[in-house]
Chains A and B, each alone.
Chain A
């Protein structure tokens, strides 16, 4: 089944404890992206990538890192999480020549 998977789906952590949220797609998509969603603010893009080793900042990249070492994976790294990073996170992917993005199920992160 063609899909985008994220892990973990739920995570409660404490301030300053490094964490990684994984994202993987099995559709051979070139473009991958991370978003965060907060009440009243809609979906905001954190980072995006057009292919292996090519990543760019979205609208809210502060406090986050990403890597794209393999085409199918695009992990989101929080080196030192803070409570303002408590949010619902979505990973998405699409083909290079298309607009339709396919979203993962989301990761609900709480930073205490």
Chain B
């Protein structure tokens, strides 16, 4: 399984765009990149998934460079309710394998 590295924490003011980068140097050809969001005392919630280039949904965008050794989760115009821990995961889509969440990035949105 590819190991991921994320910043431990980030602060941002309301209304700003936030970019959280995840490093995954050993990503395999068949691996996808998945991001989850977790609020305190709740289970993680799926945000977005991608393989290469750019993916956008109603919540976030995911940017993946050509070498796929990193990815960036972009949250547009964050609000206080976006304060959460964000996890980056790498693995085969639908594969039967261990899942490693790591410690994630704690985003604190400031008024």
Which listed residue (B87, B91, B98) contacts A48, Cβ 8 A?
Answer: B98
Which listed residue (B32, B45, B94, B101) contacts A43, Cβ 8 A?
Answer: B101
Residue B102 at the chain A interface, CB threshold 8 Å = yes
Stretch at the interface among A14-22, A34-42, A69-77, A78-86: A34-42
Residue B56 at the chain A interface, CB threshold 8 Å = no
Residues of chain B lying within 8 A (CB to CB) of residue A90? 43-44
CA distance A97 to B95 in the complex (A): 7
| A residues contacting the other copy or chain, number (CB 8 A) | 32
A-B pairs under 8 A by CB, number: 68
0/1 string, B20-43, CB within 8 A of A gives 1 = 000000000000101010000111
Residues of chain A lying within 8 A (CB to CB) of residue B102? 42
Taking a contact as CB atoms under 8 Å apart, the answer to whether B43 and A92 are in contact is yes
Taking a contact as CB atoms under 8 Å apart, the answer to whether A42 and B43 are in contact is no
B31 to chain A, nearest CB (A): 10
Taking a contact as CB atoms under 8 Å apart, the answer to whether A33 and B99 are in contact is yes
- Which B residues fall within an 8 A CB radius of A? 32, 34, 36, 41-46, 49, 87, 89, 91, 93-94, 96, 98-104
